[in-house]
Chains A and B, each alone.
Chain A
Amino acid sequence: MKLHTFSLCLFACTACAFDVDDFLDQLDSTLTLSAFHDNFRARLSGTLDLEIYNFEQPAPGLIDSNIDTLFNPRLTLFLDAQIGSQIYFFAQSRLDRGFDPSDHGAQVRLDEYALRVTPWEDGRLTVQIGKFATVVGNWVPRHLSWENPFINAPLIYENVTSIQDKSAPVSPLYFIYGPYYYEKYAFNPVIWGPSYASGISVSGQLGKFDYAVEMKNASLSSRPESWTVTENGFDNPTFSSRFGFRPNQAWNLGLSASEGPYFRREAESTLPPGRDIDDYREFVLGQDASFAWRHLQVWAEFYEARFEVPHVGNADTFAYYVEAKYKFTPQLFGALRWNQQLFGTVSDGYGHNVQWSRDLGRIDIAATYRFTPHAQVKLQYDFQHETTGEGEDNHLVAAQFTIRF
């Protein structure tokens, strides 16, 4: 009976969605403008996401909420503009309850804006300036809700560690056993989401190889507030790069590296005497691979990261994930992801070497049904297990409905 009701609902949604679909196609034409003999073109587009999360406390990843069930609506608007054949501009603005899912009030942000110049048609050189996603790794091109087979990010992009950027730990013990579960937003993951920091990048393609180098105002682990140029200048820049090799269209292999200070300015007074924020850096090495053929897509990323921590020394971590997506029918696809993060040891100050955070593994399973080219619903289940320490588990169930226009 329930299956029948569900089928009827799905059919009704699909029938209704086709009417809306035609309207959204017309809207797309209306929101695309051109002038000066098509030398100036602009397109306004967007997504409306309605997300529901149910999880155990403490909330997993970068979800910032004390309640177990969270409703997270988000309106995202994109502007893409092409001026002549060499200049491209884009911007992304969001109205939501915070950059990461939270139970806070509504806010509007300009998350990305960048100007890109491509002097040669073959793409050997592209220069981009503004506030934009990092060039590191291969997750960024699918991090938005329509392209992402999951609702959340891989573990490396959202697992909060003992690293904090607003103040230095007062001792190794505080660093190791600090109350980061209860003040989660004071701490950082290795890479904070797509890392929309401000800066400049140079990229291009030379045969089967491609390259990208960027100078940004904040490290990969830095929080969204640090990404804006008004909040955080270029006194202590972070340099990141990715070198890619595409033997053919199916394969894409890459090596990434990033290096830069991760403390915010307000942490300066908490650093040991005579030291400044430039003395404590985040180093990241990454390897990524992706494969696609017909209805199968597979991605994997491996990251080794080191944080230089005051009073502690080097804190190392290794994280990876393997993700696969398969289209079962034109409208239904499923995805599976295995994530793991392992932590090194640091001295506790009393002659013992102790892991600086708990190892954990997470499996993510998701299914997406596309009603039309403009509407989809996604369901996800995550099971997270700490493989060291107290061995705590966490379950997350999430649903996301997206309309793209």
Chain B
Amino acid sequence: MRRQGLLWLNAICSLFPATLLASAIVEGRVELPKSHSAPVQAKRYEIVTKGGVLSTQPPLAVVYLDGVFPLPAPLPVKEVAQKDLTFVPAILPIQLGTKVEFPNLDDAYHNIFSYSPAKRFDLGRYRPDERPIPTQVFDKPGLVILRCDIHEHMRGLILVLNTPYFVMTDTNGHFRLNGLPAGHYTLKAWIDSRTTREKPVELKSGQTLHVDFP
């Protein structure tokens, strides 16, 4: 009976990758900048105007482990929607090589474009019901600023990272990165286009490290 139990345990453990079994955790807090000002929509020459106001996106940070990691298996497709004249989510961290879909969930045209050196593209105008949904593959690391050629106030960010280990903070700046491999790395906190903080970290299997970015 005892021998049978050990066999079961062995079988279950073999289903988990070694990195998870021997993984480290980093948690902590990033000091976030003051809240952004609420956006204002320019409606000067719109004959038809709808009421309501644009939603305000609180500032968030992206925490990631910088280093050299093996290339991943095929990456899941991510999404940045255009909804209520804003990008949702306002910031999306992705791994290098990720494909991102840009569905239009409004009943108006949008025209997403980026002139960022990390990815230059212009999707043109497309209807909400058009299929396939326009996509882009992000194959160069860096910050991609998304804008809309029709709605000047719309701004979104895609942070293309050369690491599979990243997480967004919550609105209070708290974060928790799971499943990290042991070793010496640099932990970075991207706060905005001008500010990225970093700290060297030594990760040990099964250990939880606390790191704050003041």
Contact = CB atoms under 8 A, between A and B. Distances in A.
Interface of A: 18, 22, 25, 29, 32-34, 38, 41-43, 45, 78, 80-82, 84-86, 88, 90, 92, 112, 116, 118-123, 126, 132-133, 135, 140-141, 143, 203-205, 210, 212, 242, 244, 248-250, 292-297, 327, 329-331, 370, 372-373
Given A29-B37, A41-B37, A45-B42, A123 B115 contact: no
A293 B45 contact: no
Contact of B53 (A82, A143, A242): A82
A41 B53 CA distance: 10
Contacts of B115: 330-331, 370, 372-373
A160 to B, nearest CB: 25
B194 A22 contact: yes
Contacts of A205: 48
Contacts, number: 126
B108 interface: yes
Contacts of A203: 47-49
A85 B52 contact: yes
Size range of the chain B interface in the assembly:
35 or more
A22 B193 contact: yes
Nearest to B107: A249
A330 B122 CA distance: 5
B51 A120 contact: yes
Contacts of A29: 36-37
A210 B48 contact: yes
B40 A82 contact: yes
Contacts of B121: 330
Contacts of B153: 43
B19 interface: no
B87 to A, nearest CB: 15
Q: Which 5 A-B pairs have the closest CB atoms?
A: A294-B124, A330-B122, A121-B51, A38-B38, A43-B40
B127 A133 contact: no
Interface string B180-214: 00000000000001100000000000000000000
A216 B208 CA distance: 70
Contacts of A119: 51
Q: B interface, by DSSP: helix, strand, loop or mixed?
A: loop
A92 B41 contact: no
Interface string B80-119: 0000000000000000000000000001110001110100
Given A22-B193, A33-B37, A249-B127, A86 B44 contact: no
B56 A292 contact: no
B126 to A, nearest CB: 7
A303 B16 CA distance: 73
Contacts of B52: 85, 121
Contacts of B43: 80, 88, 90, 116
Nearest to A371: B115
Nearest to B45: A141
A330 B115 CA distance: 7
Given A330-B113, A370-B115, A92 B44 contact: yes
A331 B44 CA distance: 25
Contacts of B193: 22, 25
Contact of A249 (B41, B117, B122, B125): B125
9 contacts: A32-B37, A41-B40, A85-B53, A90-B42, A92-B44, A248-B127, A249-B109, A293-B126, A329-B122
B29 interface: no
B39 interface: yes
B78 interface: no
B37 A249 contact: no
Contacts of A242: 47
Given A34-B37, A249-B109, A135 B47 contact: yes
Interface in B17-43: 36-43
B124 A295 contact: yes
Nearest to B110: A249
B127 A32 contact: no
B44 A292 contact: no
Contacts of A249: 107-109, 125, 127-128
Given A122-B50, A132-B44, A295-B124, 15 more contacts: A32-B37, A38-B38, A43-B39, A43-B42, A80-B41, A85-B52, A90-B44, A116-B49, A118-B49, A123-B49, A205-B48, A249-B125, A293-B125, A294-B126, A330-B114
A88 B40 CA distance: 10
A140 B45 CA distance: 7
Given A294-B126, A295-B124, A126 B48 contact: yes
Contacts of A126: 48-49
Contacts of B114: 330
B127 A250 contact: yes
A92 to B, nearest CB: 7
A88 B53 CA distance: 10
A277 B44 CA distance: 32
Nearest to A40: B38
Nearest to B113: A330
A105 B7 CA distance: 93
Contact of B51 (A33, A123, A244, A372): A123
B40 A210 contact: no
Contacts of B45: 133, 140-141, 143
Nearest to A42: B40
